[in-house]
Structure 1
Amino acid sequence: MPIPIHDPHQTPGTLKRLPLRKAAALFIVAVCLCLSGLLYLQLEQTRRQDLANAQIASTNLTRAMAQQAEDTFLAADLVLTSLADWVEDDGYGAAQRPRLQKTFARRVQQLEQLHGMFLFDREGQWVITSFPDLPRGNGVADREYFRFHQQNASTVAHIGPAIRSRENGEWIIPISKRINDRAGNFQGVLMAGIKMAYFDRFFKSFSLDDNGIMFLGLKDGTLLARRPFDEGLIGSSLARGRIYQKLLPEAPAGTAMIKSVVDGVVRLYGYRQLAAYPLVVASASSRDTILKGWYERAFQSSVIVALVILGVGLFGWVFIHQVRDGERIEKNLRKAQRTLEQIATHDSLTGLANRRLFEQSLEIEFARGARQSSPVGLIMLDIDFFKRYNDAYGHVAGDHCLTQVAQVLKNCSQRKSDLAVRYGGEEFAVLLPDTDINGVLAIAGQIRRSVMDKRITHSGSPTGYLTVSLGCYSFIPSGNDSLEVFIQRADAALYQAKNAGRNRAAVLSLEEGVAELMRSDR
């Protein structure tokens, strides 16, 4: 019998078809990688270009700010120097005071940045001012600039922290000089007050986004002026910030992308230290605003490339895998979709639902509650003194603390319909369908006690341990309810709990118009 040339069990054409499939697969993969790589390179190049342009603009802005600040203080310094020489030569006796007062007033009228000029004797009492009448009071011996000149023999102009004028209460930045007698002994202080409103108007002349900031500070980090103006921040220290801690020691001017520890916004900061005076100016624009146009272009380009890759992939799926392998690919796609949905709807740190899933669930539960006339409850929860916790133990420990609180919320959300949410930062929420206010309060108490039972040490808390405050609210939807109002009411109860001392729950009672507060451990 003749020996067969081919194996009778081998499908004809297999030897040729297998290399072709591999080559096609490699070709499709190479095309997709090339498209993705070109897209990445193009987007990265344009992103860097947008950031570079923003850095140039930021550098120019801080240079303008520095020049304006230097000119402002230099003009006041020159006036102080001339008047100080006059006072030291002729004194400020009764005969000289009328002429000095008129000169002070003229100088203030000539310089729009000046609030007023003041001369104080060695005891800190008013001697002459640019105002018609001398103020009444105990003088300025307690002011920082006066004590500075008492203790320092230098005749160089001194810029002190911003203060409220005792003449009319206006915010001013004092620049002052020491007055000596002919023997060099301390005789008093000559001070000019720079209007903070002058810098405020200058800052407002620049276009910034809603999250942008500008500030003027002393070299030691003391904040003098800021946009947007916040009276509570004037005089606070910026010395612990990255600009003062790391950037200024390395270079007197520059730019840096910094995430704010106050609001979490990432901003491009431009900073500059003045050469003539111990002052620092800085401006910042949010990264999202800088890259807004880039985000739009990136989205459009990504969609186009994604469509091309999708077309190539579909061709490869038909050509290589055919119908038999289609089911496996479809299964993998479903798995990938579930993974993406998990990423899109859950917080990566705590594993809790995020605000997107929370809002979707709220709409569903509102509709169900309206149909079934069943209540919908909500707990808004905030970790007490969490900023102190981060400051004391660091952000890594803070993240661990958030995961522990999240685990408590998971354990206390027993029903499948209950939804624990990381609402933002250290704030959490628990959606409780079909739960009246008594049930909501009971679960809130369980959460509060469970957090305390963990005995998480917190040196910044009055109790010595980590605690939480909770706001509770429940109502029966009518079908035309606002999600925002629902959240705001629970949030209002939360703030009532915090204002009442924290480590407690508050129940918002619309009938009584107040929030009922309770420790939740009764």
Structure 2
Amino acid sequence: MTIPIHDPLQPPGTLKRLPLRKAAALFIVAVCLCLSGLLYLQLEQTRRQDLATAQIASSNLTRAMAQQAEDTFLAADLVLTSLVDWVENDGYGAAQRPRLQKTFARRVQQLQQLDGMFLFDRDGQWVITSYPDLPRGNSVADREYFKFHLQNASTVAHIGRAIRSRENGEWIIPISKRINDRDGHFQGVLMAGIKMAYFDRFFKSFSLDDNGIMFLGLKDGTLLARRPFDDSLIGSSLAQGRIYSKLLPEAPAGTATIRSVVDGVVRLYGYRQLGMYPLVVAAASSRDTILKGWYERAFQASVIVALVILGVGLFGWVFIHQVRQGERIEKNLRKAQRALEEIATHDSLTGLANRRLFERSLEIEFARGARQSSPVGLIMLDIDFFKRYNDAYGHVAGDHCLIQVAQVLKNCCQRKADLAVRYGGEEFAVLLPDTDINGTLSIAGQIRRSVMDKCITHSGSPTGYLTVSLGCYSFIPSGNDSLEEFIQHADAALYQAKNAGRNRAAVLSLESSVAELMRSDR
């Protein structure tokens, strides 16, 4: 049984101290994570704000494009409508042609988007143009717009695919109307060609990044005009693209982020379908350009936060290092304290408890025995003729002899509460809590026989071997008992064993106050 000395490093009644090093590491990690989380939230918020601003700008841009395109075609549509009414009422015979030609030319001059105006008869032959000279060549019966009016009786203006003018070879977008006779029969087509260059100039008037795109297309996906202009793409179909296949069927206008299948660039598209004409306009800016400023701010903020985290990490490393040093010092202090406790409470030669620990243990066991009405036993033992042993074999051999007897006591103390003590010189004691006189005497017998079994040669003993004498005593404490009297009773039993011839265990009976000597079984 070991009774620890008071620990000054941890006052009694206090809670167990938290592992400071782990707590510091967790705190530093938490601070770094919080800084990183705040940075992420702030950057994500500003990124969304930049994209939202770009979406608004893209929506406004497509609205302006749609309005311009609608105005452009509406102006041409109004001119065509007035001229169709004139031709249908007055015809386009030889008498009317000079006047019609001048009117065509004047209208083209008034509308800068028009490349020319052309009237074709029912066979697609050239009748009147806005140019002074009537071109000679193939008819336009193979053109898409002519076939449309030939097959459809609708008088609504038709916008056809972009074509190259047979007059000057320039790209134009045809807007045309059907001409009927008084009976509603097909008589020809009046067509106005809108310059592709007009839309190109209009597109270029907007500020767009190098990877930006703007286009005008028919509702069926046919590309009419595009920025940047690419001759090979004019007339191609965009019907399988996401705008036409998924977005327009859900809403006539909106914005979407799309990765281009052509160049792999991610762009923010704004698109809008015109209300009056089967046309679609769209404008797109690359996401990298939109977020260019955000990337710069994100880099700067990330560098600052990284430096702060680095500083916190370095400070934490130094702090944890200091904590580790403190823990190492504290560990050494505790180790030294345990060593001092061992020195203060145990005999340095035998390793048994000393009288200081013995007396403290007695106080504890007396108090517990009084509370629980349980007996406390004590064995006092002495090595027989030990002075003769030292004189015969020397003090070194004497010390070795003491160590062997101490080992016997340790082996016989089976319970954790049992305490073997070197009481002084060659005298030992064994404290046996919760043990009556019979149990005490039984253990004393085990000790006596175990010492004899060692067969330690002792020429000064009558038996020729080392033996011990033991005094046993046990009682139930009442709470007001004297430690000295308790030891004296066991010591008196020891002297009775010696006086009876040694190598025996004696029991002192408190009731009869008479010493009863008992020889244990040999």
CA contact (8 A) 2:4 2:341 kept: no
Indicate the larger mover: 215-224 or 481-490: 481-490
Distance 1:471 1:189 in 2: 140
CA contact (8 A) 2:497 2:505 kept: yes
Indicate the larger mover: 162-171 or 469-478: 469-478
Pairwise CA distance, 1:148: 0.4
Going from structure 1 to structure 2, the CA distance change for 1:2 and 1:84 (only over 3 Å counts) comes to closer
Pairwise CA distance, 1:498: 118
Pairwise CA distance, 1:3: 2.2
The Cα offsets for residues 20-67 of structure 1, whole Å up to 9 and x where unpaired, read as 123212221221121111111111111111111111111111111111
Indicate the larger mover: 505-514 or 217-226: 505-514
Pairwise CA distance, 1:428: 91
The Cα offsets for residues 433-470 of structure 1, whole Å up to 9 and x where unpaired, read as 99999999999999999999999999999999999999
Going from structure 1 to structure 2, the CA distance change for 1:410 and 1:41 (only over 3 Å counts) comes to farther
Going from structure 1 to structure 2, the CA distance change for 1:18 and 1:485 (only over 3 Å counts) comes to closer
Going from structure 1 to structure 2, the CA distance change for 1:263 and 1:411 (only over 3 Å counts) comes to farther
Pairwise CA distance, 1:180: 0.6
Pairwise CA distance, 1:325: 12
4+ runs of 1 displaced by more than 4 Å? 5-18, 321-522
CA contact (8 A) 1:384 1:468 kept: yes
Indicate the larger mover: 84-93 or 420-429: 420-429
Indicate the larger mover: 82-91 or 437-446: 437-446
Going from structure 1 to structure 2, the CA distance change for 1:121 and 1:362 (only over 3 Å counts) comes to farther
CA contact (8 A) 2:179 2:187 kept: yes
Indicate the larger mover: 304-313 or 332-341: 332-341
Q: Percent identity?
A: 92
Going from structure 1 to structure 2, the CA distance change for 1:262 and 1:491 (only over 3 Å counts) comes to farther
CA contact (8 A) 1:212 1:286 kept: yes
The Cα offsets for residues 116-165 of structure 1, whole Å up to 9 and x where unpaired, read as 00000111000110011111111100000000001111000000000000
SS in 1 for 2:458: coil
Going from structure 1 to structure 2, the CA distance change for 1:293 and 1:84 (only over 3 Å counts) comes to same
Indicate the larger mover: 34-43 or 226-235: 34-43
Distance 1:154 1:464 in 2: 143
Pairwise CA distance, 1:115: 0.3
Going from structure 1 to structure 2, the CA distance change for 1:510 and 1:157 (only over 3 Å counts) comes to farther
Distance 1:236 1:394 in 2: 118
The Cα offsets for residues 295-325 of structure 1, whole Å up to 9 and x where unpaired, read as 0000010111111111222222333367999
Indicate the larger mover: 217-226 or 337-346: 337-346
The Cα offsets for residues 214-240 of structure 1, whole Å up to 9 and x where unpaired, read as 100000000000011100000000111
SS in 2 for 1:21: helix
SS in 1 for 2:17: helix
Going from structure 1 to structure 2, the CA distance change for 1:258 and 1:488 (only over 3 Å counts) comes to farther
Going from structure 1 to structure 2, the CA distance change for 1:383 and 1:296 (only over 3 Å counts) comes to farther
Going from structure 1 to structure 2, the CA distance change for 1:359 and 1:9 (only over 3 Å counts) comes to closer
Report how many residues are paired. 522
Pairwise CA distance, 1:490: 107
CA contact (8 A) 1:346 1:352 kept: yes
Going from structure 1 to structure 2, the CA distance change for 1:61 and 1:39 (only over 3 Å counts) comes to same
CA contact (8 A) 1:317 1:326 kept: no
Distance 2:425 2:226 in 1: 26
CA contact (8 A) 2:377 2:436 kept: yes
CA contact (8 A) 2:128 2:134 kept: yes
Indicate the larger mover: 450-459 or 306-315: 450-459
Going from structure 1 to structure 2, the CA distance change for 1:4 and 1:247 (only over 3 Å counts) comes to same
Distance 1:437 1:420 in 2: 17
The Cα offsets for residues 333-369 of structure 1, whole Å up to 9 and x where unpaired, read as 9999999999999999999999999999999999999
SS in 1 for 2:18: helix
CA contact (8 A) 2:219 2:278 kept: yes
Indicate the larger mover: 260-269 or 316-325: 316-325
Indicate the larger mover: 218-227 or 501-510: 501-510
The Cα offsets for residues 456-500 of structure 1, whole Å up to 9 and x where unpaired, read as 999999999999999999999999999999999999999999999
CA contact (8 A) 1:266 1:287 kept: yes
Q: CA RMSD in A?
A: 40.8
Going from structure 1 to structure 2, the CA distance change for 1:398 and 1:320 (only over 3 Å counts) comes to same
Indicate the larger mover: 448-457 or 273-282: 448-457
CA contact (8 A) 1:444 1:520 kept: no
Going from structure 1 to structure 2, the CA distance change for 1:471 and 1:195 (only over 3 Å counts) comes to farther
Distance 1:119 1:393 in 2: 146
CA contact (8 A) 2:5 2:341 kept: no
TM-score (norm 1): 0.60
The Cα offsets for residues 230-252 of structure 1, whole Å up to 9 and x where unpaired, read as 00000000111111011111111
CA contact (8 A) 2:115 2:193 kept: yes
The aligned residue for residue 261 of structure 1 is 261
CA contact (8 A) 1:174 1:193 kept: yes
Indicate the larger mover: 351-360 or 132-141: 351-360
Pairwise CA distance, 1:406: 79
Larger Rg: 2
Pairwise CA distance, 1:183: 0.8
The aligned residue for residue 421 of structure 1 is 421
Indicate the larger mover: 414-423 or 261-270: 414-423
Distance 2:105 2:387 in 1: 48
Pairwise CA distance, 1:76: 0.2
Listed as ranges, the matches of 1:318-333 within 5 Å are 318-320=318-320
Distance 1:218 1:388 in 2: 127
Unaligned runs of 5+ in 1: none
Pairwise CA distance, 1:261: 0.5
Indicate the larger mover: 428-437 or 101-110: 428-437
Going from structure 1 to structure 2, the CA distance change for 1:485 and 1:294 (only over 3 Å counts) comes to farther
Distance 2:514 2:112 in 1: 50
Listed as ranges, the matches of 1:464-475 within 5 Å are none
Distance 2:188 2:495 in 1: 51
Distance 1:250 1:286 in 2: 24
CA contact (8 A) 2:21 2:323 kept: no
TM-score (norm 2): 0.60
Going from structure 1 to structure 2, the CA distance change for 1:74 and 1:422 (only over 3 Å counts) comes to farther
Distance 2:499 2:106 in 1: 51
SS in 1 for 2:351: coil
Going from structure 1 to structure 2, the CA distance change for 1:270 and 1:24 (only over 3 Å counts) comes to same
Pairwise CA distance, 1:257: 0.7
SS in 2 for 1:224: strand
Indicate the larger mover: 314-323 or 116-125: 314-323
The Cα offsets for residues 410-435 of structure 1, whole Å up to 9 and x where unpaired, read as 99999999999999999999999999
Pairwise CA distance, 1:4: 2.5
Distance 1:175 1:202 in 2: 19
